[in-house]
Structure 1
């Protein structure tokens, strides 16, 4: 494999590991397919749960008599646990064994989901969601790392990643529909349904995911201080971002928490430079491909989740649609993602991940610009359906491109960590952009713009989408610059070789 200090995003170069017979001839056997399906099931489970519980928040608030301030933590606690432990989860998967971490975390996820489903108070539901998020922070990088170390770099890996992306999209789309249906029966079903899915993933992984390789004999030191400081820093960072709209971005509390986060990160870096076996080898962050993919990931999920937030408010609060009607409105995007994603592996191999990310953000920017044309009585087919269809193309292009770029050229021993860095980009980006969009809309709400209540709401929603569109457009330009630079470097290498 290439060293971790160079991006090495040439997707036509074979992996240094000797591929198995199922991989060299382009055909995958039943066991390999079964393992991929199980790992995709873990991704499916995370997306399914997030979509369902997000729709169930209003009935949870009503049934458990929770305040608006407290019920937001049904969603935010998951984000906090997920974003706070991703780096640790990715590195522990590398150190302790990816299969071991995957099985343990899926089991904890199932138990926490069951507890959330039978909880009789809001605090227990929030605690269960935090544990579920923390569990997902271990399953996500472990599962992706198993894929990356099983399938050799190139066409086989691109194909596996594109299928992985499609399963995540399918889980989210199905979760929207099931969330709307199950909420009619009772919000507890949105917690209870993931339990058998998690158990199926657990037993499937037990049977189909190969056992972790035996570790070298002898004692091994573990970077406990590094693990504590980076986890504390990420937890505090995500918490501060989530709460900033409530307390104010310029408040003494928010500034103090950001300062404390910076101190914790500084301590972490100091520790990593001194210990013999660091939790995070800082040289990995010199991999421009990985860092660029993580930044793109922040924009991908940040803009989409913020758009979904605004779009949900627009449909339910302004237009008066039911949760199920809203889910059906988003469904075309999910169906198109599921249809397009399995074929993106070939496109990545042909054009490279940087161009795929750029193409994705062209579609994202166009989608959000279209939604800005929506009004209080706009028709779905004329305005919203084209937006959903563009998102259906943007998502698989950009997601697959980011996954491949982040892990290409990374040593097998650090694939879990690289996956954790990428996933951290997704989660922190989602938290940051959503917080900014929420703050922008809140400020304009206080200003009371617009002649009537509906017009005022529409103004707020447009302001939020303006922020989303601006971030997507800037990322599109940066992705184009990155793709052009990469193409220029490849031409220079070819010229030098000739």
Structure 2
């Protein structure tokens, strides 16, 4: 995205190597920060039993350690994106990174469940600042082939981090204490902060009026999305048709409708209405939501199956996901290569069809399942498919976004990622739980099968959507589109 034309709403450069070459140092810093954010979605999963014992948490309270993070990051991303558009992207990125690093240290030192949940919520809020500012820094710094390569890597990190988190969490929990799951973020965050201060160029920005931030819009969207994530998290305990769930979903719907009404009347809306007309961004975010849900939900169910049915330890479970992570990497490489030869919609749809087939294969895992024969082929196929989807989505969604809206567009795309993660666990675990308690051997066997069949159906529906709605031209990965302010 070349800077001058983007600011005036003209098309960005065609799919070539136009634009100056930039150092990859900024990409390295932003990807390091995003790895921390994505890892923290799943790294806690394998350590939950150990944390529960250490802090004397009831079984139903454990999910709050995951939900608090997703609630705040998913709810706050649009505001984080708006802040990074209005203020210095460098300043917002470094503030988010610093806050995330400190919150990680505090999480490790928590002595009660309440302290840890609050610290996780602050981590989530920091991620809401960090992620959109990092992605907008990438899209406004790089152009041409460099930009496509950078966005493809961003997509790979988004999917790989979730799978790698299970391995990292299992290894640290086994070899050390659960506290190190959080403390390990500190040195990485500190190095990224120091390097970021050196390599990210300072921007000259004027301080905007408070009305430019659209505080009423921000409060209603954060409340609406947080209520949605909270309610979805509670379905595992109370069920989908309980009064608690129905009231929660109703309250979330009211808040989100209120947000849309507020945006229509706001002089400087948090989410400009014309952004909805950017087909590549809206379709990409929808596919991002679906594929992240399948990925995170499958990781959740497969880790339960491995530990409850197959008797794997936390570390063995983490290692069992290693081929899955490698397959995701291979899928992103395949998709990156195919972008020059096929349309983004065709690549994403092919990846989703592969994902659906692999989910059906996994659903056939029997009671006496063996890893190599019954799980490995399906996990590898699913990893390849998911990896193939993330790249075209990440590359095409941010095409044609002017610099002035790069933050809010980044926030919109990554909201799909976070809400998808929460939805995936809630929906697939609810479907799985309809076959019995996932804490029992028989319930885990039948629940895994039912949950993976649901994942296959979702993958099929999203594949059709991708074919119909995603960009139909190869040039969409690099070409821009008009966007008026």
Provide the TM-score with structure 1 as the length reference. 0.87
Contact 1:93/1:142 (<8 A) preserved: yes
Mean CA deviation greater in 373-382 or 217-226: 217-226
Is the alpha carbon distance of 1:378 and 1:418 closer, same or farther for their aligned partners in structure 2, counting shifts above 3 Å? Answer: same
Please name the residue that 1:334 is paired with: 325
Please name the residue that 1:246 is paired with.
Answer: 237
Is 2:200 the partner of 1:209? yes
Would you say the 8 A contact 1:365–1:469 is kept in 2?
A: yes
Corresponding residue for residue 149 of structure 2: 159
Q: Per-residue deviation at 1:97?
A: 2.2
Structure 2 match to 1:393: 384
Query: 1:202-236 deviations in whole A, cap 9, x for unaligned?
Result: 11211111223433899974322222222222222
Which residue of 58, 62, 66 maps to 1:71?
A: 62
Who is 2:119 aligned against? 128
The separation in 2 between residues aligned to 1:161 and 1:270, in whole angstroms, is 33
Select the residue among 267, 275, 299 that pairs with 1:284: 275
Question: In 2, Cα distance between the equivalents of 1:194 and 1:281?
Answer: 35
Equivalent pair of 1:114/1:195 in contact (CA under 8 Å): yes
Work out whether 1:271 is the aligned partner of 2:262. yes
Quick one: structure 1 residues 118 and 216, their matched pair in 2 at CA, closer, same or farther if it must change by over 3 Å? closer
| Structure 1 position 177 matched with structure 2 position 163 | no
* 3-state SS, counterpart of residue 351 of structure 1: coil
**Whole-angstrom distance in 2 between the partners of 1:447 and 1:361:** 27
For residues 262-289 of structure 1, the C-alpha deviation after alignment (integer angstroms, 9 at most, x for no partner) is 3323332232222322111011012221
The one of 438, 445, 448 aligned to 1:461: 448
Equivalent of 1:486 in 466, 472, 480? 472
- Cα shift readout 1:359-418 (whole Å, capped 9, x = no counterpart): 220221121111022112232222222222223322332111111221112211111111
Which residue pairs with 1:113 in the alignment?
Answer: 104
Q: Which secondary structure state, in structure 2, belongs to the residue aligned with residue 56 of structure 1?
A: helix
3-state DSSP class of the match of 1:249? coil
Task: Please identify the structure whose Cα radius of gyration is greater.
Answer: 1
User: Residue 253 of structure 1: SS of its match in structure 2?
Assistant: helix
Q: 1:13 to 1:142 in 2, by over 3 A?
A: same
Segment drifting more, 42-51 vs 212-221: 212-221
Which one of the candidate residues 452, 469, 474 is aligned to 2:461?
474
The structure-2 alpha-carbon separation of the partners of 1:285 and 1:331, relative to structure 1 and needing over 3 Å to count, comes to same
Contact 2:335–2:387 (CA<8 Å) still a contact in 1? yes
- Answering whether residue 369 of structure 2 is matched by residue 359 of structure 1, we say no
RMSD: 2.9
Residues 117 and 218 from structure 1, CA distance in 2 versus in 1: closer, same or farther, beyond 3 angstroms? closer
**Deviation of residue 167 (structure 1)?**
4.0
Q: CA offsets per residue over residues 336-378 of structure 1, 9 Å max, x none?
A: 3335535643432432322221122022112111102211223
User: Could you list the runs of 5+ residues in structure 2 that have no partner in the other structure?
Assistant: 477-485
Distance 1:76 1:366 in 2: 30
Give 1:243 shift: 1.8
| 1:53 aligned partner | 44
Shift of 1:245: 3.6
Aligned equivalent of 2:367 = 376
1:156–1:223 Cα change, 3 Å: same
Q: Partner residue of 1:345? A: 336
CA distance in 2, matches of 1:133, 1:44: 14
Corresponding position of 1:421? 412
1:323 aligns to 2:314 (yes or no): yes
**1:79-114 deviation line (CA, Å, top 9, x unaligned):** 111111111111111111221111111111111111
Report if aligned partners of 2:362, 2:379 keep a CA contact under 8 Å in 1: no
Q: How many Å separate the matches in 2 of 1:280 and 1:481? A: 25
Q: Secondary structure at the match of 1:36?
A: helix
Provide the residue aligned with 1:36 in structure 2: 27
Q: 2: CA distance between counterparts of 1:338 and 1:441?
A: 28
Deviation at 1:314, TM superposition (A): 0.8
Q: Gaps (5+ residues) in structure 1?
A: 23-27, 491-498
TM-score, normalised relative to structure 2 = 0.89
Q: For the residues of structure 1 that align with 2:34 and 2:437, how far apart are their CA atoms?
A: 40
User: 1:298, 1:251 → 2: CA distance?
Assistant: 25
Q: Is residue 2:76 matched to residue 1:89?
A: no
Q: How many matched pairs?
A: 471
